[in-house]
Structure 1
Amino acid sequence: MSSPQPPPKYHEPVQGTVFHGDGREEALLKHLNSLPELSADQTASLSLQDKSQRVLDAIHEFGKQENSYLMSVGDTKGRKVEALISERKPKLILELGSYVGFSGISFSRQLPSQHPNSVYPHEWTSNPEEDRAGYISLEKSEVYADTARGAFKLAGLDKVVKIVTGSSTTSLKNLRKTLNMPRPLKFDMVFLDHLKPLYTIDLKVMEEEGLVGPGTVLVADNVVKPGNPPYLSYVRASPVSKRAILSQTRPTSQPPITPNPTNESDWDSAFKNGPIDETLWVPEEAEGVQADGDPGLVYTSQMLDGWDPYTGERDACEVSVCTGRED
């Protein structure tokens, strides 16, 4: 991991404290709707890029206030993911964890210009030959989903983004039916930014459902802060290692948590001898859904380093490209 200068510090580290779900999300939407510079009259002549950037800036400014920390990807990591989207031009992007819509705005706003002739989510039909593009975002909280929808509308992206509410694991099992999404159609990119223990089981469900596969790019946030050793172990493991772990008995309680590396220089090479035992553990939040995944899929991974946008803590996204399969 490189060491650029961190952003200004606006909040102390928030782990173990109340930092969401206490009314700040509803207050954010009310605040956004009150800003004259985000009104339809003020933004009508702006490009989609400029209009959406105004909303991103307003969300970020709100998060700087006392007791208003927001769980957003931020601009240091966000800009790198946007560059990846600019390079790869994905048509179908799936997000796990809408929260207040910051990442959804940031990562969906290139789609209309990249794919101007495609059909977007609110106009999808049952035609399997349909040239689809769009940003699908899964969110468990109805409150957060409402806030995100409001932000998407202000940003001019409400036709580009579709939010599906409910538990992520269950939603993924039913997503093809929900979206009328026939096989072999899959997502070109997936952004994981929800409950950290669900990253691994949700990826396995996506593999089994064919929602990801060769060519899909996975972008997982917060793999340094707080870290996610099971997920890193899974995407960095060989098919041989993943198949071997499946012969073990699935644990009925959470195994001991593998610590993050103590040395910053070890992050890129850590967890490559997995998968570790935690990859078999299914948290209660998965609501009884179990999955073995598709162990034959091969990923190549690298970390995009960055910062928490408000606390100045080091963080990173793990970018894993599915390059093929080994049967």
Structure 2
Amino acid sequence: MPIATPTETSVRAAPAPPPKYHEPVQGTVFHGDGREEDLLRHLRSLPSLSPSETSGLSLRDRSQRVLNAIHEFGKGENRYLMSVGETKGRQVEDLVRSKKPKLILELGSYVGYSGISFSRHLPELYHSSTFPRDWSAAPTSQDRAGYISLEKSEVYAETAAGAVELAGLDKVVKIVVGSSTTSIKSLRKTLDMPRPMKFDMVFLDHLKPLYTIDLKVLEEEGLVGRGTVLVADNVVKPGNPAYLSWVRATPAQKRQALNLGPLSTQPQLTPNPSSDDEWLTAFRDGPIDETRWVPPEAEGVTSKGDPSLIYESQMLDGWDESQMLDGWDPYTGEKDACEVSTCVGREE
């Protein structure tokens, strides 16, 4: 069953591909070489982002200035930024406005672009709620709203926090520093989230091999469940067959794979489909076996997840079904897309 997208997207013209600013970056140094620290210094130096210039702006306009500044910085030589970008980002923003999630979890803060883009709708949707910085003052856990972002790199977390503050969203966004998989295991304690409280939306945009194990841990911890919307970036570039296989599989397929036990070595990765029209049907019958491998970055955490959960999963890849894969890397122009998977219940 297709995921419903907001009505307003159906009347828009499909966006044009972005200009190409960088060559494809896979296999090259494209992060962690000082550009993230340079970005934060650059943002803080811009007069247009100073408190005197932004204090009178609406939250939407103030945050957009920061997003524009991040994007412009990323156009420069050796400044490619692995952010979601405007095309895919606006599609996810439409989803936020449509689904109205109250609690959003992000895996991978990076420099804060997606956190700013998606979290800025929460104060408008839940203006009377208590946000993460002041959660201790919430009368009950149901009065909480906010955007929780997990980031392994202290440098990236500092950059993201600085950008979020300039955007005026520091009370809305809470960044938790540490490995995503281990952070998820302790997230209920970290955030004081009693069961059965869960996240309404999860945005995955971190190390690609961790997508599947991290989702399994979220399932096991009861942090996702009926109604949770999963949005996974980069499922086309570079691709993530294992994750797509897990969210598109039936409970029976997942249980069968789990019964075989974990893999001791990384399997050969299944290649991406060769044409656009294959993407919506690909990976529904496998490679489910690839989900049995747990990368070393999970730091020894294993999980069977909750194979009984049922997802309705489809690529958020077009502004209508006649325009496939019209999402792009914002700097290289390469085709890309997000996978949107809504948990509709469980098979008992």
TM-score range, shorter chain: over 0.9
Q: Which residue is equivalent to 2:338?
A: 317
Q: Which residue is equivalent to 2:10?
A: none
Q: Which residue is equivalent to 2:293?
A: 281
Give the secondary structure class of the aligned counterpart of 1:124: helix
CA distance in 2, matches of 1:325, 1:129: 25
Q: Which residue is equivalent to 1:28?
A: 39
- After superposition, the CA RMSD in angstroms is 1.3
CA shift digits 1:85-106 (9 cap, x unpaired): 0111110000000000000000
Aligned ranges for residues 24-63 of structure 1 at < 5 Å? 24-63=35-74
For residue 153 of structure 1, report the CA deviation from its aligned partner: 0.3
Q: 2:208 aligns with which of 196, 203, 216?
A: 196
Q: Which letter does structure 1 place at the counterpart of 2:63?
A: S
CA shift digits 1:228-251 (9 cap, x unpaired): 000000000001111111110311
User: How many residue pairs end up in the alignment?
Assistant: 326
Is 2:120–2:169's contact at 8 Å kept on the other side of the alignment? yes
Is 1:26–1:143's contact at 8 Å kept on the other side of the alignment? yes
Is 2:241–2:287's contact at 8 Å kept on the other side of the alignment? no
Q: 1:115 aligns with which of 103, 120, 126?
A: 126
CA shift digits 1:122-178 (9 cap, x unpaired): 111286544110000000000000000000000000000000000000000000000
Residues 239 and 30 of structure 1: is their aligned pair in 2 closer, same or farther, counting only changes over 3 Å? same
Q: 2:98 aligns with which of 75, 87, 95?
A: 87
Give the secondary structure class of the aligned counterpart of 1:21: coil
Aligned ranges for residues 162-311 of structure 1 at < 5 Å? 162-305=174-317, 306-311=327-332
For residue 79 of structure 1, report the CA deviation from its aligned partner: 0.3
Where does the alignment leave 5 or more consecutive residues of structure 2 unmatched?
A: 1-12, 318-326
Q: So what's the TM-score if we normalise by structure 1?
A: 0.98
Q: Which letter does structure 2 place at the counterpart of 1:25?
A: E
For residue 6 of structure 1, report the CA deviation from its aligned partner: 1.3
CA distance in 2, matches of 1:278, 1:302: 20
Where does the alignment leave 5 or more consecutive residues of structure 1 unmatched?
A: none
CA shift digits 1:44-102 (9 cap, x unpaired): 11000000000000000000000000000000000000000011111000000000000
For residue 302 of structure 1, report the CA deviation from its aligned partner: 1.2
